[in-house]
Structure 1
Amino acid sequence: MRDTLRRLLRQRKAAVGGTLLLGFLLVALVGPWFVMDPTELMGQPHQPPSSAHWFGTTGQGQDVLAQTVVGARETLAIGFAVGALVTLVGALVGITAGYLGRRVDDALTLTTNIFLVIPGLPLAIVLGAYLPSGPFRMVVVLTFAGWAWNARVFRAEALSLRGRDFVAAAVVAGESHLRIITRELLPNMASLVASSFIGNTLYAVGAQVGLEFLGLGDVGSVTWGTNLYWAGNDAALLTRSWWIFVPTGICIALVGFSLTLLSSAIDELTNPSLRAPPKAPSAAVVHAVASPEQEAATPGALLSVRELSIEYMTQAGPSRVVDQVSLDIAPGEVFGLAGESGSGKSTLGSALLRLLPSSAAITHGRILFDGTDVTALSPEALRAFRWSRVSMVFQSAMSALNPVLTLGEQFHDTLAAHGGNSRASSYARARELLSMVGLKPELVDAWPHQLSGGMRQRVGIALALALEPRLVVMDEPTTALDVVVQKELLQRVVELKERLGFAVLFITHDLPLLLALADRVGILQAGKLVEVDTAQRLRTDARHPYTRLLLSSFPHLGAADAPTPSPDVLEQATSALKPPLAASPGGRR
């Protein structure tokens, strides 16, 4: 908690917003002791700012500065009280509905929806007519009218958390529902609670000022809303007495601005994807550091990677995840890339299509595809290059497929982006491709959730082949599949490769799988390509200690295939792993 607060204070948004809000809180707490009585008639009506009255006087002769300072106390007190109550009620109702489900969820959700469809202003007017005048009425009215939206937000979060293992463990341990809600679920929503409280406070201040300006508050009290109400009654705008309402308006705007900055800072702190990533090295560096030997591809190679280095920019500085890698892939070849998690496999595969995130950059080397320098392509040329010449099968088929589009529409989007195909021709091509990967053409009208994992992965392969690319990058496409489905899928890939003639870069941590599938296999360790050889020679005559260590970790390969490393080899391989593997941010390989 202390580290989180320290990081929050280092953020510029949080610093500016917090400073502004703290200033207003200090004014609200101690300011009334240093100003005049805001209700006493001190001077002439509509008197402009002067040395006697710094902010001028109202239409009744009251000091505007005193009214602005004193009005901050009740306005902010009601705002924070309503913000806390709306957050608390909304969180308890929403989490209870989401966690308990069934009849409780039905009843609470119905109640929430009823409150959401009732217009807020009429509800506030009705409630205000039956409650005694004063701050309590405003707190009750705004809480009653504002909790429902928060309940829906917290319910959605509770639905996503209730299936987690830590909740199941609490149930097995015999914890009560109340304890699970307050001790298990709520702490995991700390960031949501904080941002909701800030947002609800902003809502409360705005709604309170609006209702009081319309005369629905206690017009005898001194608040920012009643200041505006009396400014309107005194015809301040018509008499051009701008000083009566401008100070209050500026204060309301600054409080809203400070709360907005704090809410944004909390969102960025708790959601790293919203933060501006550290600036990566410019891609232009590639051309400045490339050596003359890197200019030419290997004769006959479809893909030539030359001395490629990739770095991620982190808060601690640059982290190199691919280090001087060189490799070639021939037309029609299956090239396997193996290594443990964090070795740089997926990062290298993404670099071939220039799919690296903004925090990463190619800092050295070349990627040459059939004579084309991929690292130098313009955005327009890169768009035409992707999928038509090099395509990709992603690891998670369910995430790669759009859940709200049918398969046919997803094929149409891919084909239309590269040639303006009509929907009819796209659907015809989709049926052909689905048949090609062993699926029924009728599935063109199916949704992704209606398919099994293996079927979704076949759809991913079909999409990758839609534009007849010459190279397909497969990033761990069989990780989530069982052994039988893996075998069927790989057989289909081999058949399609022989039929269509494309090359494959197969990325996986499953070395035995590559030894059975690939023509050649490259071994990545800590971003370095330590060995490349045919599958047969790698199986029986691996040279690098790290490769032999990987082989020995799969006993089912057999003793003859992977001799048990001697203590000297184990010591060399272990020492080669130090320092620890350079892992890219977010667990990318």
Structure 2
Amino acid sequence: MRDFLRRLSRHRKAAVGGSLLVFFLLLAVVGPFFVMDPTDLVGRPHQPPSAAHWFGTTGQGQDVLAQTVVGARETLAVGFAVGALVTLVGALVGVTAGYLGRRVDDVLSLTTNVFLVIPGMPLAIVLGAYLPSGPLRMVAVLTVAGWAWNARVFRAESLALRGRDFVSAAVVTGESHSRIVSRELLPNMASLLGSSFIGNTLYAVGAQVGLEFLGLGDVSAVTWGTNLYWAGNDAALLTRSWWIFVPTGMCIALVGFALTLVSSAIDEMTNPALRVHKAAPLPATPAPRSHLERPVPGVLLRVEDLCIDYATEKGPSRVVDSVSFDVAPGEVFGLAGESGSGKSTIGSALLGLLPASARVTQGRILFNGMDVTALEGPALRAFRWRQVSMVFQSAMSALNPVLTLGEQFHDTLAAHGRVSRGTSYARARELLGMVGLSPDLVTAWPHQLSGGMRQRVGIALALALEPRLIIMDEPTTALDVVVQKELLQRMVELKQRLGFAMLFITHDLPLLLALSDRVGVLQGGKLVEVDTSTNLRTGARHPYTQLLLSSFPHLSAKDAAPAAQPVQTPELSVSRPSTRVAAIPGGHR
């Protein structure tokens, strides 16, 4: 925060806008001590500016300078208070409704819509006419009249963000709803929060002045609004006494200009892609620890007769139909199939990430004897990432764009126990080194990395808590052939070193045959065949598997013997699939 404020102070727009705001805040706080009492009758009415009265006198004979200075105190206090309250209430209601959805969204959206159909100014006039007079009345009236529109805006932004991969990653790592809202969603709305606060403060100042000009404020108080009210009553326009209302109008305009400049500066400073970061000195990287574990004989993951349905307008639609398979400790099990075959849905079900419209209607998912489908709340959060983690498909959006890599590692580790930021950063450097990246990148932002580097960071995050199984959901999508090869070689090396199992999900059959111990082939939600990679190459039994194999001439039986190599050598055909994968029936490329 201190570094952000220092950089903000060097920003030209922030410097100009901030200087104006500081001037008016000082004017409001200490200015009244240096001017005369604004209610005293000190001169002739409608006296123009002079040496005795710099801004002239009002229609009653009061000093205009004193009224302008003293009026800033209550006007700015109410404006900033209402701006903060309207932004806070709107953000909390909108983000909560958008993120939680379902009944919470229904109730909060209905409440918001009720307030939106009521015109704000008439509502403020009615409330202001019946509530006791004073500044607190104005704060309450303007807050009630103005929060609903902000809630609608924040709800829309929350709906757009909750489907992003970095939010799904936060859910999988076990972060609570409140932490996801505060650490994942709201930081990505920093510009929206800033602009909303600016807009709401301007709204508050304008609405307050308007209500007081209509006589709905405390006319005995000295504010910018009551200054204009009395200027109108004293016929300042008719008598051409411009000095009575021009100073107040200029102050309102300058405050609005200052707030707009600060808003623009904050927007630029909160967008990491718009600024250049200098590399910070880092402490020495600790020596890597050994994480080698002996695989436990038996079954690590067992999927039993799994059925998953999606709710549609025409009724339930089955996307996974009676699927059963096992994964042994340390094994690489591949799931292949065309788009829509249900392979990614199975991976999501394993981590409890199915969308609200989907549910498991039959079967179980057993991890080391524990039924994952029955886990909820803290038990599910404890299971995620410690036992099973995931490398998400989109390397470009799986990382939070407004947090450095070190902060994202810290969030993952802190979600599963109290850990200091220094310990998290040390672990992050170790993991970045393990996946072939420089430990210095711990202070980098996601936009500074290439797609392949981001995917390596995703792998490092998946290894953070030493899980026993890692789900690789289309991890090489949108990566070029060379990067794919390097990435998979690194995964094989890490698997051999750390001893975890992998559930590899992809439409890329050649890649699976080169990498996996066993491969399952999905068609239309059904698992039609499961066998070793060598057996599938030479003796696939199901017609659909044979059709897939025939789409790749280099996978025919003639070259099966030289192609059948140990699973630890992904070099065999990883370099070819992206040029041939379009031949898969129903493929999405």
* TM-score using structure 1 length: 0.48
* TM-score using structure 2 length: 0.48
